[in-house]
Chain A
Amino acid sequence: MKLRKLGAIAAIGAIAFAGCTTGPAGFTPPADELGVITVGPNDPVHLAYWGVLSGGDASLGQDSLYGAQVAVDDKGGKILDHNINLTSEDAQCTVDGGAAAGAKLAADNTIVALIGSACSDETVGGIKAISDAGLTTVSPSATRPALTAPDRAADYAGFTRTAHSDAFQGQAVAEFVFNELKLTKAATIHDGSAYAEALQQVFADEFTALGGEIVIQEQVGKDTTDMTPVLTRVAGAGPEVVYFPIFVQAGGYIAAQAKDVPGLANAALIGSDGMFTPDFVEAAGPAAEGMYLSSPNFSAFQAGYADFLPKYEAKAGSAPLSAFHAHSYDAFNIIYAAIEKVAVKGSDGTLYIGKKALRDAIYATKDLQGLTGVLSCSASGDCGAPLIALYQITAREVGGEWPPEAPVWPTE
């Protein structure tokens, strides 16, 4: 723990201050082109988490919130002798919810930095308000590739992530299906969300490039319950594998109904990290057995993850609810290190934090030791270590155990 912190500080020390013109000398508050946040001597440093906390996908956001809370506890709840106040905002895993949360967070001038969003749709809806307010967010689980594309719009200036890009996830699933399962005819189903639409397309492109064939690409509504019509159409195209990287509710309906559709009884079913939660197994029931889910490769996480898990379980009262708690832990620590680096302390204990300086410091993160890997941020905001694995749901998980024990791919 101590070593990691020392390493982080050393790494930060190696980087020159950017945008902070006054230096850490006493009473002159720093100037900053995006504004300066002033934290009074007895005020807490306000950080906010935003992501889905209600509805069928609540576990995705709640899991990351627990991860961030554990990270706060690990710092003793304090930064630079100020308490850390971590609040949360439900963004409902929709574009509208993200926009509402983004507007609310942008209007709160006590907030220093953000962790979130959970879903890519939330970022699409909320990031403009957040960037315009000069805030920076580190997302643990918004994985749509375009969010950190080098040519992304200026609205995304405040967006960084510890989550992998789905450019990697889609590729990993394609390789698994083609090289490991040795299947060549695939169907995809998405739900129109920024996440699923992009992920299934990456998969389709990679799978075709490997020599496979995409027999049909279908779409369902997020709130569709009767999947038989769409599955019948999919079955008509004769796939050997059906890839539906969507969310818990619709994904559960598809998994539960697929085996009853003639022609799909033997097709392999694959989902992705949005369904990597015990809620999905509950929703799909026994039909989930044998299904594959891609997710971050927990076996490739750093040694600190083993220490993290008991603390998480003490907080949540259960095993991890979803896949991105460690990414959220890391997101907090990126922000923590950046604040330590740029905050200027007045003689009375008041903290002055330049927004642009903080944003630049987050982007300048380099070789930070995290739970998910060694974190370095790219110029377009990718900070994570994209290691993907595929897990299989067995009778053990259907029986209520979680998470799956070891990945089925890659194995070594």
Chain B
Amino acid sequence: MQVRLADRLTDLAIAAFLWAFRLSVVAIVVVGSFLTLTSGKYNVDTWTGLVITGLATGSVYALVALGYTMVYGILRMINFAHGEVFMVGGFAGYFAAVGLSSLGVLNAGPLASLLSILVMMVVAGAFSTLIALLVERVAYRPLRNAPRLIPLISAIGASFFLQYSVKGWAGPGVYAYPDVGVLNELVPIDFVRIQWKQVLVVTAALVMMAGLYVFVMRTKIGTAIRAVSEDKATAALMGIDVNRAIVTTFAVGAAMAGAAGVLFALMFRQINFFSGFEPGLKAFTAAVLGGIGNVPGAMLGGLFLGQVEAVGPTLFLDGLGVPGASGLAKAIAFTMLVLILVFRPSGLLGERISGQRA
């Protein structure tokens, strides 16, 4: 009797704490936003500027997040080396960019620039795919039937291996993408201030995500991937080549990460051997936010995280008079993650790639 009472009290205390946590976060968000918006310190242009920035960054997170979520969907493992696949794509794109720049085509008019960027993205995507397939072959496939923690550790090892291989080969310093002049110009429309590079990043990301959706939902190999992710053994019995489905999943995820590496570098210029870590972590967060294993969820999670990071510090904290609010962008982003997982443990759109799972 007494034990039961103690248990119930503990449960109550935990529930009370969780509610207090939810309520305090909601209170901070509501009060902070209200105070910020009524202070009149920022005008509409500021907010649209922040939203556009968040959209561009969020699209890149979404592209990388897709790789995490697809691999999780099919193998139930977190491919921690995916951030490094993104980084090597950035490097491959860099060398393509330097080559194109020295040939004089990178800045030879808008069309030449656009085609050059396309070439850079293809080169980066191809190289990233190559690296990801090597990692899959060497570090994951031999462990496919091992307990779930084992490939996770192997993935962390692969991540460090790639980071420090690039460091050994390219050095620890910073590489800066050559400038593509036209990307820094403003789009000539009146009502909103937006740069061509932001248009490019968002458009490219949307096109790739749409392409992926069609690929997964409408093609034969996409159907095979979905079948394998539901039940590997049954899919194999139905005559589906499981290895081929898994390798394709890695390849598609890596190609998008590589292209995203180029988009990211076009926005922010610099890359170095460590520059895959942070975006990789954010993209993983985005995948969890959206519901890991869920393809539209990863897209939504990425865009959502981009917005929270860009708009959050100013919207929530400025009105409360918090000093150095931007330094708390990460704290806000991860508080949101905790909050969403508290309310919806399976993420925004739920944790599955398709249908019922055994």
Binding site for B on A (CB under 8 A): 53-56, 58-59, 192, 217-221, 223-226, 228-230, 232-233, 235-236, 248-249, 252-253, 256-257, 260-262, 279, 282-286
Q: Which of A218, A257, A279 contacts B326 (CB 8 A)?
A: A218
Q: Inside 8 A of A230's CB, which chain B residues have their CB?
A: 313, 326, 329
Binding site for A on B (CB under 8 A): 41-42, 45-46, 49-50, 53-54, 57, 167, 172-174, 176, 179, 184, 193, 195, 264, 267-270, 272, 274-275, 277-279, 309-311, 313-314, 318, 323-327, 329-330
21 A–B contact pairs at CB < 8 A? A56-B172, A56-B272, A56-B274, A58-B172, A59-B173, A217-B324, A218-B325, A220-B326, A223-B277, A224-B329, A226-B57, A228-B49, A229-B54, A230-B313, A233-B313, A236-B46, A248-B174, A249-B270, A252-B174, A260-B184, A279-B173
Q: Are B268 and A226 in contact (CB under 8 A)?
A: yes
Q: Nearest CB to that of A248 among chain B residues? A: B174
Q: Which of A56, A221, A236 contacts B330 (CB 8 A)?
A: A221
CB distance from B85 to the nearest CB of A (A): 18
Q: A221 to B269, alpha carbons, bound, how many Å?
A: 18
Q: A261 to B57, alpha carbons, bound, how many Å?
A: 16
Q: Which of A59, A219, A261, A284 contacts B324 (CB 8 A)?
A: A219
Q: Are B278 and A225 in contact (CB under 8 A)?
A: yes
Q: Inside 8 A of B42's CB, which chain A residues have their CB?
A: 232, 236
A sample of 6 more A-B contacts (CB under 8 A), given A218-B325, A219-B327, A228-B50, is A58-B172, A223-B277, A229-B313, A229-B314, A252-B174, A261-B49
Q: Are A229 and B311 in contact (CB under 8 A)?
A: yes
CB distance from A238 to the nearest CB of B (A): 10
If over half of A's interface residues share one DSSP class (helix, strand or loop), that class is named, otherwise mixed; here it is helix
Q: How many A-B residue pairs have CB under 8 A?
A: 109
Q: Are A232 and B49 in contact (CB under 8 A)?
A: yes
Q: Are B53 and A229 in contact (CB under 8 A)?
A: yes
Q: Which of B45, B195, B329 contacts A229 (CB 8 A)?
A: B329
Q: Nearest CB to that of B328 among chain A residues? A: A219
Q: Are A219 and B326 in contact (CB under 8 A)?
A: yes
Q: Nearest CB to that of B47 among chain A residues? A: A232
Q: Inside 8 A of B274's CB, which chain A residues have their CB?
A: 55-56
Q: A223 to B309, alpha carbons, bound, how many Å?
A: 14
Q: Are B173 and A226 in contact (CB under 8 A)?
A: no
Q: Inside 8 A of A225's CB, which chain B residues have their CB?
A: 264, 268, 275, 278-279
Known: A229-B329, A236-B41. A283 touches B176 (CB 8 A): yes
CB distance from B196 to the nearest CB of A (A): 12
Q: Nearest CB to that of A280 among chain B residues? A: B174
Q: Which of A59, A235, A283 contacts B270 (CB 8 A)?
A: A283
Q: Nearest CB to that of B178 among chain A residues? A: A285
Q: A148 to B283, alpha carbons, bound, how many Å?
A: 42
Known: A54-B167, A56-B173. A192 touches B268 (CB 8 A): no
Q: Which of B53, B174, B179 contacts A279 (CB 8 A)?
A: B174
Q: Inside 8 A of A260's CB, which chain B residues have their CB?
A: 184, 195
Q: A217 to B272, alpha carbons, bound, how many Å?
A: 28
The 10 closest A-B pairs by CB, nearest first: A219-B327, A219-B324, A230-B326, A54-B172, A228-B53, A58-B172, A225-B268, A229-B310, A283-B174, A223-B278
CB distance from A88 to the nearest CB of B (A): 14
- Interface hub of B49, B264, B323 (most chain A Cβ within 10 A): B49
Q: Inside 8 A of B275's CB, which chain A residues have their CB?
A: 225
Q: Are B278 and A252 in contact (CB under 8 A)?
A: no
Q: A388 to B262, alpha carbons, bound, how many Å?
A: 40
Q: Are B329 and A285 in contact (CB under 8 A)?
A: no
Q: A59 to B327, alpha carbons, bound, how many Å?
A: 25
Q: Are B174 and A249 in contact (CB under 8 A)?
A: yes
- Interface hub of A228, A249, A253, A261 (most chain B Cβ within 10 A): A228
Q: Inside 8 A of A228's CB, which chain B residues have their CB?
A: 49-50, 53, 310
